[in-house]
Structure 1
Amino acid sequence: MNTQAIPAGLGRMKGKAVLITGASNGIGYATALLFAAEGARLIINDIAAERLEALREIIAAAGNDVQSVVGDVSKDADARAMVAASVSAFGRIDVLVANAGIIPEFDLLTATAADFDHVMAVDGRGMFLTCKYAAEAMLQSGGGAIVCLSSISGEAGQSGQAVYGPAKFVASGITKHLAVELATRGVRVNAVAPGTIATAALAKLSDEYVAGVTSRHPIGRVGRPVEVANAILFLASDEASFITGVVLPVDGGYLAQ
C-alpha cells in the first residue's frame, strides 16, 4: 500500500473541486497527492474501499477538503454519484481526472469476447460516463478541465495488447471529440499517454512483456507515477488554458521512434 506524505505545493489547484477516479493506487494515487499539495478540494474514487479510505485519511490529515466515493465507473449510477458528490460538497466540479482503468495482457488468440467487453466497460464506457456527467456539471457552473488517461497503447500498436490497446484508442478518441464539442463552452479536454510506468498494474504483467516494452523506451527506464501526475496537473491547470484536444505522451520517448 502507498504511504506517501503530501509534498509542498504552489497552490495551482487552490480552491478547485477535483474528481479523480481510480485514485487508490498508481498514477491516480500520485495525482491525488499532488493535487492535494496544490490546494485542491478532492473527491477521490475507486472500487478498493480500504485503500481509498487510507488515502482519504492522508489527505484529510494534511488539511484538505476530501471525500471518498467507492464506485465502479462502468456503472451509470456510480459515475453519476461521483460527480454529484463533488457538486454536493463543493457546489461544482472544476476538474475531472478520468484515470480509472484496468490493464490486462491479452493477445488476439487468447482473448475472449467477455475479456473484450470487460475491458471496454471499464476503460471505454467508464471514461465516457465520467466525462459525460462531469461535463454536464461543468457546463452548469461555467466550465472546467477534463484529463483522460490514455496510453502509448492508445496511440500506437503493441503486441500483447489486443484488448487494452483498442480500449485506450477509445480514450484518445473521446479526448479529441469532446475537446472539439466542448471548446466553445468553457470545457477543455486533454489526455496523457503514459509509457511503461512503475505501478502495481505493471507488476501483474509478465516479466517478458515488461522487459520488452521497457527496453523500447529511449530514456532507458520506466516512468514514475508522479511524472505522469505532473503532466496531468499541467493540463488541468490554468497554465494550459489554450490547450485542448491534446494527447500528451509521457513515455520516455517511446512514441518518438
Structure 2
Amino acid sequence: MAQETSGRLADRVCVITGAASGIGRATAERFLREGARVVAADVDADRLATLPGVTPVVGDVSREEDARRMIDTAVERFGRLDVLVANAGVIPLLSVTEAEAADFDRVMAVDGRGMFLTCKYAIEAMLVSGGGAIVCTSSISGVAGQARQAVYGPAKFVATGLTKHLAVEWAEHGIRVNAVAPGTIETERVAAARVEPGGPEYLTEIVRAHPMGRFGTPEEVAAAILFLASDEASFVTGAILPVDGGYLAR
C-alpha cells in the first residue's frame, strides 16, 4: 500500500508505547515520516535499538515509575507532550479453562494498568501544555466476544472503556482520546501463533470472520492512528475506530 506523507505531525512531540515491533513500530515509522519527534518505549531493548530516528526509552508500562519516565522523557527533551499512542500489550490465546489467574493478572497489568498509567501521566503533561491527543490500541476483542480471548479480551474492554471515559472527562481541556480497534493483524504475534498448539486452527477460523478475507497490516493500523492523532480528527473524541476488514460489521 502506498504511503503518502504530508507533514501532518510536523514538530509534534509523541510518545508511542510498545514501539519495538508490530503496530507500534509501524506507527513510530509513520509518525517520523510525518515530521513528529518520537519517544519510542518498549521492554525489548534490542529491538528498540534497531528503530532509527527516535528517542528510545526501555521500560515496562505496568510499572508506575517506568510509565512516568516515558512521558517525562518527552517533556524533558522536547518541552511538552502533544500525542500519546498507548499501544503496549501482550496477546495470549487462552480459553478460560486453559488460563491461570497469573495469565489474567499479567495481561491486565500490561494492557489495562499500563494503559491507565501512560494515559494518566500523558494527561498531566498535556494539561500543562494546553491539550493534546491520545490514541489507545483496543481490539475487536474489546468490542465483541471471541473464542480463546478469556484474558486478552477483557483487557481490551478496559482499553475501550478507558478511552470513552477519558474522552468525556478531558474534552473541555483540549485533550482528545480515541482508540483503534484492529482486527487480526500480520504482526510477529500472528507469526508465533502459526506454530503454537491450536494456533493454525484458530487463525484459519478467524480469517474467515474478516469479510475482506485477509488479515490487516501494521501499516494500515498506523494510518488510522495517524488520522486520530492529527488535526484532521479535531472534532473526534471518544471514538473506537475499527480497522478490521469488516469483522465488526457482520
Question: What TM-score do the two structures reach when normalised by structure 2?
Answer: 0.96
Identity of aligned residues (%): 64
The one-letter amino acid of 2:175's match is V
CA separation in 1, counterparts of 2:171 and 2:206? Answer: 35
Number of equivalenced pairs: 243
Match of 1:80 in 2: 68
Match of 1:155 in 2: 143
8 Å contact from structure 1 (residues 43, 67) kept in 2? yes
The one-letter amino acid of 1:239's match is E
CA separation in 2, counterparts of 1:153 and 1:208? Answer: 18
Query: Are 2:244 and 1:251 aligned?
Result: yes
Query: Are 2:132 and 1:141 aligned?
Result: no
After superposition, the C-alpha distances for 1:18-66 in whole angstroms (9 at most, x for unaligned) are: 00000010100100000000000010000000110110xx22xxxxxx3
CA separation in 1, counterparts of 2:226 and 2:114? Answer: 21
The one-letter amino acid of 1:245's match is G
CA separation in 2, counterparts of 1:147 and 1:95? Answer: 8
Match of 1:215 in 2: 208
The one-letter amino acid of 1:81's match is R
Q: CA deviation at 1:8?
A: 6.1
Match of 2:103 in 1: 115
Match of 2:182 in 1: 194
The one-letter amino acid of 2:32's match is A
CA separation in 2, counterparts of 1:50 and 1:115? Answer: 25
Q: CA deviation at 1:9?
A: 2.0
CA separation in 2, counterparts of 1:136 and 1:118? Answer: 26
CA separation in 2, counterparts of 1:9 and 1:245? Answer: 26
Query: Are 2:13 and 1:17 aligned?
Result: yes
Q: CA deviation at 1:204?
A: 2.1
Match of 2:196 in 1: none
Pairs within 5 Å for 1:54-65: 54-55=50-51, 58-59=52-53
8 Å contact from structure 1 (residues 8, 37) kept in 2? no
CA separation in 1, counterparts of 2:161 and 2:191? Answer: 28
Runs of 4+ in 1 over 3 A off after TM superposition: none
CA separation in 2, counterparts of 1:202 and 1:255? Answer: 19
The one-letter amino acid of 1:141's match is S
Query: Are 2:211 and 1:224 aligned?
Result: no
CA separation in 2, counterparts of 1:237 and 1:15? Answer: 12
The one-letter amino acid of 2:236's match is I
Name stretches of at least 5 consecutive residues in structure 1 with no aligned partner.
1-6, 60-65
Q: CA deviation at 1:210?
A: 1.0
Query: Are 2:118 and 1:130 aligned?
Result: yes
CA separation in 2, counterparts of 1:84 and 1:211? Answer: 43
